[in-house]
Copies of this chain bind each other. A is one copy, B any other.
Amino acid sequence: MAARRARTTHTRDTTINDIAKAAGVSKATVSRVINGVPTVNEQIAQRVRDVIDELGYTPSQTARSLSLGVSRTVGVLVPDLGNPMFHQVLNGFNRAAARDGYHVVVTDSFEDADREAALAKDLRDRTDAVALFAPRMTRENLLALLPKVAPVAVFNRTTGKNAGSVLIDYHEGILLLARHLIDLGHRRIAFLSGPAYARSNWERERGLAEMREAVPDVEIIDVACGHSFEDGYNAWPAVREMAATAVIAFNDVVALGLLGRLAEEGVSAPAQLSVAGFDDIPFSRYSSPSLTTVTSRLSEIGTRIWEVLRAEMTDTPIREPIMFSPELAARGSTKEIR
């Protein structure tokens, strides 16, 4: 006698077996109908479809994935779903993936570098591939993780060709901004730095360091800040204290936070203080004053990430890092020094 069922609770209401039974065919036939295999008698196919409708059956994607070995789903791990910058990228990624018939599921790591590896693996264990957006973990951890979650593409971190990668050239971007401000006559510039663990911050710092060397008569002062509105808002006292005439914020979100504070304090921007951001999120175009920032084609970047990930899924990965150079978007928040 066969052993009893291994579990007590049924998961699914109706399964392919129920359909088969109800339609008086085998489950192979039901499967064929579902998957549109053309060699099925139209009469029977119709009957099966009717039964499916009637019973409101949808195939278990889990079972399907297990059997097929693929799910046509990819995962994206994002450090902060609250940052509009990632949306733009995600949007491009999503659309490109959808065009290729893939679903995308995203999970937020809430900037918690320690949870990233586990989240990525879990994500990968239920999808065909993962894209890591701006992972916060150390390089060492990242390199260790990569092989475990392959196929994998990473955005905004270098991978030493252990995975496909697409990056924004932050180094170039910050230089654009610094030159812009210097050209406007500023000689004392504050940099509201971002999280120490972010590559996007290191690269900016590196650019600034070069600038200091190249133009010794301008002072570029680091102010530890962060990545959020609040961080920008709270940075004001430090900025005032150092009597800078211009500030480069870690990103637009921070810049907007500072701008809000300035308005409250009655400090007029850009008349009394020029402010620049980074990323060109949608809000910055419409802020008051509109925000000078550097802009990348975020949505296109998302598309490229998808392409890179897609390539990782084949046997011809694109391992050469793809670098996007930002452009200066000079707007109302920066101005010549009188």
A252 to chain B, nearest CB (A): 11
Please name all residues of chain B whose beta carbon is closer than 8 Å to the beta carbon of A12 when the two chains form the complex: 69
Q: Nearest residue in B to A269 (C-beta to C-beta)? A: B288
Q: Which residue from B59, B73, B90 sits with its C-beta under 8 Å from A81? A: B90
Chain A 49-81 per-residue mask, 1 if CB under 8 angstroms from chain B, else 0: 000000010111111011011110101000001
Chain A 1-38 per-residue mask, 1 if CB under 8 angstroms from chain B, else 0: 00000010111100000000000000000000000000
User: What is the total number of copies of this protein in its complex?
Assistant: 2
The reply to whether A10 and B286 contact each other, CB–CB distance below 8 Å, is no
For residue A173, CB closer than 8 A to chain B, the reply is no
Chain A interface bracket (under 10, 10 to 19, 20 to 34, 35 or more) = 35 or more
Q: Which residue from B9, B233, B282, B288 sits with its C-beta under 8 Å from A259? A: B288
- A280-304 residues at the B interface, CB under 8 angstroms: 282-283, 285-290
A123 to chain B, nearest CB (A): 8
For residue A219, CB closer than 8 A to chain B, the reply is no
Q: Nearest residue in B to A75 (C-beta to C-beta)? A: B105
A282 to chain B, nearest CB (A): 5
Please name all residues of chain B whose beta carbon is closer than 8 Å to the beta carbon of A232 when the two chains form the complex: 286
Q: Which residue from B75, B108, B110, B288 sits with its C-beta under 8 Å from A260? A: B288
For residue A272, CB closer than 8 A to chain B, the reply is no
A133 to chain B, nearest CB (A): 13
For residue A319, CB closer than 8 A to chain B, the reply is no
Q: Nearest residue in B to A72 (C-beta to C-beta)? A: B122
For residue A195, CB closer than 8 A to chain B, the reply is no
Please name all residues of chain B whose beta carbon is closer than 8 Å to the beta carbon of A282 when the two chains form the complex: 82, 229
A88 to chain B, nearest CB (A): 8
Please name all residues of chain B whose beta carbon is closer than 8 Å to the beta carbon of A70 when the two chains form the complex: 11
Q: Nearest residue in B to A263 (C-beta to C-beta)? A: B288
For residue A121, CB closer than 8 A to chain B, the reply is yes
Cα–Cα, bound, A122→B73 (Å):
10
Cα–Cα, bound, A288→B3 (Å):
71
For residue A107, CB closer than 8 A to chain B, the reply is yes
The reply to whether A287 and B290 contact each other, CB–CB distance below 8 Å, is no
Q: Nearest residue in B to A121 (C-beta to C-beta)? A: B58
Given contacts A69-B7, A287-B260, contact A125 B59 (CB under 8 A): yes
The reply to whether B107 and A104 contact each other, CB–CB distance below 8 Å, is yes
Most interface-central of A7, A121, A260 (chain B CB within 10 A):
A260
Cα–Cα, bound, A94→B259 (Å):
30
Cα–Cα, bound, A233→B287 (Å):
11
The reply to whether B91 and A87 contact each other, CB–CB distance below 8 Å, is no
Please name all residues of chain B whose beta carbon is closer than 8 Å to the beta carbon of A262 when the two chains form the complex: 288
- Contacts A11-B70, A229-B286 known; 18 new A-B pairs at CB < 8 A: A11-B69, A56-B148, A58-B125, A65-B126, A73-B126, A81-B87, A82-B87, A82-B88, A90-B108, A94-B110, A105-B123, A229-B285, A256-B286, A256-B287, A257-B286, A260-B288, A260-B290, A263-B289
Provide a sorted-by-A list of 24 A–B residue pairs whose CB atoms are within 8 angstroms.
Answer: A58-B148, A60-B66, A60-B125, A62-B71, A62-B126, A81-B81, A82-B88, A82-B91, A84-B84, A94-B110, A103-B122, A105-B106, A105-B107, A106-B106, A229-B282, A229-B286, A232-B286, A256-B283, A259-B288, A260-B288, A262-B288, A263-B288, A263-B289, A263-B290
